Amino acid sequence: MAVLGLGRSGLSAARALREGGAVPLCWDDNPEARASADAEGFGVRDLARAGGFDGVDWLVVSPGIPHLYPAPNPVIAAAWAAGVPVDNDIGLFFRSFGSGDWAMFDQPPKVVAVTGSNGKSTTSALIHHILQSAGRDSQLAGNIGRGVLDIDPPGEGGVVVLELSSYQTDLARALTPDVAVFTNLSPDHLDRHGGIGGYFAAKRRLFAEGGPDRCVIGVDENEGRYLANQLSEAPADDRVIRVSSGSKLSGPGWDVFARKGFLTEWRKGRQVASIDLRSVRGLPGAHNHQNACAAYAATRALGLAPRVIEAAFHSFEGLPHRSQIVAEAGGVTYVNDSKATNVDAALKALQAFPRIRWVCGGLMKEGGLDALAPGLENVVKAYVIGREAAGFALGLPGIEAEICTEMDTAVTRAVAEAQEGEVVLLAPAAASFDQYDNFEKRGEDFAEKVRARLAG
């Protein structure tokens, strides 16, 4: 079994393969990564060279490695030429999930898989939190938490909650969750998927390949409405739970929607439950209310009662870098939403608060900033960071924008100028790689600078 890419998921896959009786052959273009694999006793082979796939039965690829667009990695092209099947750790997980011990379980373990453009991390973590609060055995893995092949074997009635990116769903040869969740779709990773159609197709595989028992579908975009329609056999088919933030859903099926801060569940034409989300501190804004609806629907599909879910909402503290409150002082709230790396995510963050001093900017993505317009009315002033700060500021017509370039300058200015009742919000609407290794480092820098300014 060959393993290409020796980051977290690659090494995890190699260890799991060895424990399962296979012989891993590892490769990474990074010499340090190869040295790490060699130190753990794994065979290292340049798979792109002639004969690289001699004696190899299967190739497991890490998610960051392109397999089709914008061009196949040479190792993957070599695997195609050799007729070696290409897979990833998610495919291995689903192929191997289950054991003979399950025949003794009254309640076999289940898998909940969450995908979408925005909100999938919060939705996955919230599902996991609700299950744990209800006393259910739950593990969080995939694109969040532990590597999918590092989890413990689930026991009686256990649940594995997986966050899956488009990179993971696109290549996995097996995708068979019990409950599958689609949050929403907005343009992202378009070069990797050959455009928006390829990006949606990668997400859609989670539902089309394995036939989940229940599908939770966000229907606020055409892609979600199309997907829900494709999966339904009739208007009253409650195997599909439609979810919306902002629109009242009606019909004979199963719907969960949030309007004006209230989550409502309708089933078979009648209201089943209602929850006031306005006081749920860890889920501010309409975008988090959509996440709450999706998590509510998924856990209802697993048999949890509305009152149990509601109680868990109130103890959820949110995730770092996703609408995370990092400080409060002088009537000003400081919020780290560094994960808002695209325009759609940033727009939702801007629409969550009424008076914002906005720290934004970074490595701009395709499509420009025009889609931010509906949220700019909430912005008191923008403080623009990043190497492209001047160009970013030009894309924000009608609001005051100060070019700060560095995080320290932006935070210093925002803290000095913020008034009672305002929110200082980091929601970059851009990638972090021009100044930081990842969005986590950017969010940590923001939080550290805020606390330092408030303390000094």
Does 124 count as an annotated binding residue?
no
Return the amino acid letter for 306.
Answer: P
2 beta partners: 25, 59
Torsions phi, psi for 7 (to 5 deg): -80, -155
| Interatomic CA distance for residues 299 and 42, integer angstroms | 40
* Backbone torsion region of residue 175, taken as left when φ is above 0, otherwise alpha when ψ lies between -120 and 50, otherwise beta: beta
Return the amino acid letter for 383.
Answer: Y
DSSP letter at 189 equals S
> What SS3 state is found at 415?
helix
Structural tokens at position 231: 């999966």
* Backbone torsion region of residue 268, taken as left when φ is above 0, otherwise alpha when ψ lies between -120 and 50, otherwise beta: left
Does 338 count as an annotated binding residue?
no
Does 118 count as an annotated binding residue?
yes
| Interatomic CA distance for residues 67 and 53, integer angstroms | 17
| Interatomic CA distance for residues 120 and 271, integer angstroms | 26
Q: How many CA atoms lie within 13 A of 222 on its CB side?
A: 3
Does 117 count as an annotated binding residue?
yes
Does 119 count as an annotated binding residue?
yes
Does 248 count as an annotated binding residue?
no
What single string gives the DSSP state of each residue in 228-241? Answer: HHHH-SSTT-TTEE
Name 179's Cβ contacts closer than 8 Å, sequence gap at least 6: 110, 111, 112, 113, 212, 213, 214, 215, 216, 298, 301, 302
Structural tokens at position 83: 């007729």
The binding site comprises 116-122
Show binding-site residues for ATP: 116-122
